[in-house]
Structure 1
Amino acid sequence: MVGETLELGWDERPREEAALFNPAFCGEIIALSVSSHHKAARRPLSFPLAFTILPLALHPASRAGLPVQASTTFRTWAVNNDALLTPLADRIAHLRGVTREALLFMIQLRALDITQEGLTPGETPIVLTRKLETETIETSDIKRSARLLGRWFAAQSSPLLILQALGLKP
Structure 2
Amino acid sequence: MFTEVQYSEEEISLFNPAFTGVSLYHAIGEFCTIDDAGMHCALPFILIPMAMNVAICGKLPRSSRTPLASWVSHHEGLLSTLVPQAESYIPVVKASTGFLFERQLIKLSDSGTYLLGDETLPANPSLFNQDLDMKSILRSAKFLGRWFAHSPSAETTYAQLGMMP
What is the TM-score of this pair, normalised by structure 1?
A: 0.88
Structure 1 outlier segments of 4+, above 4 Å: none
SS at match of 1:70: coil
103-112 or 114-123, larger mean C-alpha shift: 114-123
1:51 aligns with 2:51: no
Q: Is the 8 A contact 1:86 1:167 kept in 2?
A: no
* Cα 1:89–1:13 shift into 2, 3 Å: closer
Identical-residue share of aligned pairs (%): 24
- CA separation in 1, counterparts of 2:49 and 2:17? 14
* Cα 1:8–1:133 shift into 2, 3 Å: closer
1:161 aligns with 2:159: no
* Superposition deviation, residue 130 in structure 1: 5.5
Which residue number corresponds to residue 19 of structure 1?
13
- CA separation in 2, counterparts of 1:131 and 1:74? 31
Q: What value does the CA root-mean-square deviation take over the aligned residues?
A: 2.0
- CA separation in 2, counterparts of 1:133 and 1:154? 24
> Structure 2: any 5+ residue segments left out of the alignment?
none
Q: Is the 8 A contact 1:79 1:165 kept in 2?
A: no
> Structure 1: any 5+ residue segments left out of the alignment?
none
Which residue number corresponds to residue 4 of structure 2?
8
Which has a greater percent of helix?
Answer: 1
* Superposition deviation, residue 128 in structure 1: 2.8
SS at match of 2:107: strand
Alignment length (residue pairs): 164
